[in-house]
């Protein structure tokens, strides 16, 4: 396997530790202690380098088993295709012919509008594909039957992972993390659909993530950064949980989010409960007086 870090990079990280040593001006450490701490940090850096190599090995192993998973997922897709062929389309969102729509609604409802539901009725499969070279990344692939909304057969969302320590601050490394995401162009057949998707909250905004400003002082930086952090979590969530567990999301045996109506109901119940408590407290205070 190709080395994750070149000798030059490792030398740079060693210099970084030496630089950190010179910054240890706290008088509670003697010169001998500072040297010992630097040696311990060097050992810690070696464990980080092992973790990086281990992560690459894990990704290589995951790629191998991805092929085996796809054999199973091909069978899942055939079952769904055969069912749809034999039973036709259905307007019922909980019908097996709308399998993936139901799965998505059970996993992150808030992103799906009524118009989105019509489009997602054509969704026939969701897969992921991992790449380990030259950069580590994975794609979430949404496959669609031919439809009247757009010409794409597949919509892609790509997540790029950083699996190496920062040369300037190697000891801050805490495992692989997503640092960038890319969507794709949706070729809408009706220009009005494109305009609507640009102006309203919709599932398809997932394929058009915002670009993080390079300047952290930009007034939009924090908001966009929060959006991207949620997006990164969603990418892993689809990859690790929703796609492999799709059937039990469909049946409702597992749900990780509630519908808007459920949330509103819960909020109303909470508000009513709080109001009752306030009223009880008021009655108690009156009685005390």
DSSP 238: I
Q: Using 50, 70 and 90 to split pLDDT, how confident is the model at 76? A: very high
Q: Using 50, 70 and 90 to split pLDDT, how confident is the model at 104? A: very high
Tell me what the mean pLDDT of segment 118-123 comes to.
94
Tell me what the mean pLDDT of segment 194-198 comes to.
63
CB burial string 226-244: b at 16+ within 10 A, e below: eebeebbebbeebbeebbe
Percent of the chain with pLDDT over 70: 73
- Cα(77)–Cα(70) distance, rounded to whole angstroms? 10
Q: Using 50, 70 and 90 to split pLDDT, how confident is the model at 196? A: low
Tell me what the mean pLDDT of segment 75-83 comes to.
95
- pLDDT confidence of residue 145: 95
Percent of the chain with pLDDT over 90: 42
* Alpha helices (H) along 128-241: 191-199, 221-237
CB burial string 193-217: b at 16+ within 10 A, e below: beeebeeeebbbbbbebeebeeeee
Is the pLDDT at 5 greater than 50, yes or no?
no
Q: Using 50, 70 and 90 to split pLDDT, how confident is the model at 258? A: very low
Tell me what the mean pLDDT of segment 73-102 comes to.
84
Report pTM: 0.74
Calculate the dihedral angle through the C-alpha atoms of 100, 101, 107, 112, rounding to the nearest 10 degrees. Answer: 150
- Of 266 and 220, the structure prediction assigns the larger pLDDT to 220
The tokens of 160 are what?
């790029």
The pLDDT tens digits of the residues spanning 230-250 come to 899 999 999 999 999 999 999
Q: Using 50, 70 and 90 to split pLDDT, how confident is the model at 68? A: very high
- pLDDT confidence of residue 184: 96
Is the pLDDT at 21 greater than 80, yes or no?
no
- pLDDT confidence of residue 197: 61
Q: Hey, which bits of 84-206 come out as E strands?
A: 123-131, 137-144, 154-162, 177-182
Q: Hey, which bits of 145-288 come out as E strands?
A: 154-162, 177-182
């Amino acid at each position: 396997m190709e080395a994750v870090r070149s000798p030059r990079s490792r030398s740079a990280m060693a210099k970084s530790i030496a630089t950190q040593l010179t910054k240890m001006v706290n008088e509670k450490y003697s010169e001998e202690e500072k040297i010992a701490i630097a040696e311990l940090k060097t050992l810690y850096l070696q464990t980080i380098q092992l973790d990086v190599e281990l992560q690459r090995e894990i990704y290589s192993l995951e790629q191998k088993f991805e092929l085996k998973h796809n054999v199973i997922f091909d069978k899942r897709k055939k079952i769904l295709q055969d069912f749809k062929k034999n039973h036709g389309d259905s307007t019922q969102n909980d019908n097996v012919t709308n399998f993936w729509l139901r799965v998505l609604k059970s996993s992150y409802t808030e992103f799906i509008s009524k118009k989105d539901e019509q489009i997602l009725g054509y969704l026939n499969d969701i897969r992921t594909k991992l790449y380990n070279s030259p950069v580590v990344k994975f794609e979430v692939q949404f496959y669609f039957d031919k439809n009247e909304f757009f010409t794409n057969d597949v919509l892609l969302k790509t997540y790029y992972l950083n699996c190496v320590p920062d040369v300037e601050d190697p000891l801050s490394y805490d495992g692989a993390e997503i640092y960038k995401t890319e969507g794709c162009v949706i070729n809408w057949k009706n220009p009005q659909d494109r305009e609507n998707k640009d102006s309203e909250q919709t599932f398809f905004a997932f394929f058009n993530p915002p670009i993080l400003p390079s300047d952290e002082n930009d007034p939009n930086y924090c908001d966009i950064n929060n959006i991207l952090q949620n997006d990164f979590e969603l990418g892993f969530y689809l990859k690790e949980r929703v796609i492999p567990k799709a059937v039990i999301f469909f049946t409702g045996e597992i749900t990780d989010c509630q519908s808007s109506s459920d949330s509103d109901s819960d909020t109303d119940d909470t508000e009513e409960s709080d109001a009752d408590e306030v009223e009880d407290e008021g009655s108690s205070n009156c009685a005390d007086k």
